[in-house]
Chain A
Amino acid sequence: DSGVTQTPKHLITATGQRVTLRCSPRSGDLSVYWYQQSLDQGLQFLIQYYNGEERAKGNILERFSAQQFPDLHSELNLSSLELGDSALYFCASSFTGTGNTEAFFGQGTRLTVV
């Protein structure tokens, strides 16, 4: 158990809908990363938050957004869903988000858009 909790584990929804994925980082970790794992794109970095502030942005679509709350949990919001958004979404956390700390991954949320 990495200590990073993601909910829900599975999500099935229809095209055009909106969903929210939740991530609770390890106790004491300030930085949260979101990744998307799909068959054709592999593991892609989406976005990073550090202590409530956005720190880095990757290949995140405009239909997607995220935030990190004062209690440090994070949510990834996906809207106007398309079939191609079906993927495994991972959250990872680290203490400071610096090069000297490890990132620990949650078990992921599998999103299926039908």
Chain B
Amino acid sequence: GNSVTQMEGPVTLSEEAFLTINCTYTATGYPSLFWYVQYPGEGLQLLLKATKADDKGSNKGFEATYRKETTSFHLEKGSVQVSDSAVYFCALREMDSSYKLIFGSGTRLLVRP
């Protein structure tokens, strides 16, 4: 079945550092890809998405590019802030009739002042 693999955390960075969280997927076809963020004590919020190969999703300074050659969708941000501390989930949307999301295991990011 389809699956998502993302890098283990926690990732600890200093404020203004560059962030990369790796995500790769295994899927039949070209599913839509997503990054969700979960702040402490809250639900999941959609951060960005890409629906086809070479698409770049971006939001709040975060970016990710859909790379079909490497089946990857790595999340990047040029300068992280303390407020970015959260758990980040990479996900793909199944292409069957359910369109359910398949999530990676999540990566906790801690940004220190």
Q: Assuming the A-B contacts A42-B103, A105-B45, A108-B43, are A97 and B95 also in contact, with contact meaning beta carbons closer than 8 angstroms in the complex?
A: no
Nearest B residue (CB) for A101:
B99
Whether B103 and A105, one on each chain, are in contact in the complex, defined by CB atoms closer than 8 angstroms, is no
Q: Contact residue range for chain A?
A: 20 to 34
Residues of B within 8 A of A56 (CB): 96-98, 100
Name which residue of chain A comes closest to B100, CB basis.
Answer: A45
How many A-B contacts if CB must be within 8 Å?
A: 50
A84, CB-defined interface residue at 8 Å: no
Pair B95/A99 contact, Cβ less than 8 Å: yes
Complex alpha-carbon distance, A102 and B101, angstroms: 10
A104 to chain B: closest CB distance in Å? 8
CA distance A63 to B43 in the complex (A): 25
Contact with B along A92-107 (1 / 0, CB 8 A): 1010011100111111
**A114 is an interface residue with CB less than 8 A from chain B:** no
CA distance A90 to B102 in the complex (A): 14
Interface members, chain B 45-82 (any A CB < 8 Å)? 45-46, 49
CA–CA, A35 and B32, complex, Å:
19
A-B pairs, top 10 by smallest CB distance, nearest first, are A56-B98, A43-B103, A107-B43, A105-B44, A105-B43, A42-B105, A45-B100, A99-B99, A48-B98, A108-B43
Chain A positions near chain B (C-beta within 8 angstroms)? 2, 4, 33, 35, 42-43, 45, 48, 55-56, 58, 90, 92, 94, 97-99, 102-108
B residues contacting A by CB (< 8 A) are: 32, 36, 42-46, 49, 89, 93, 95-106
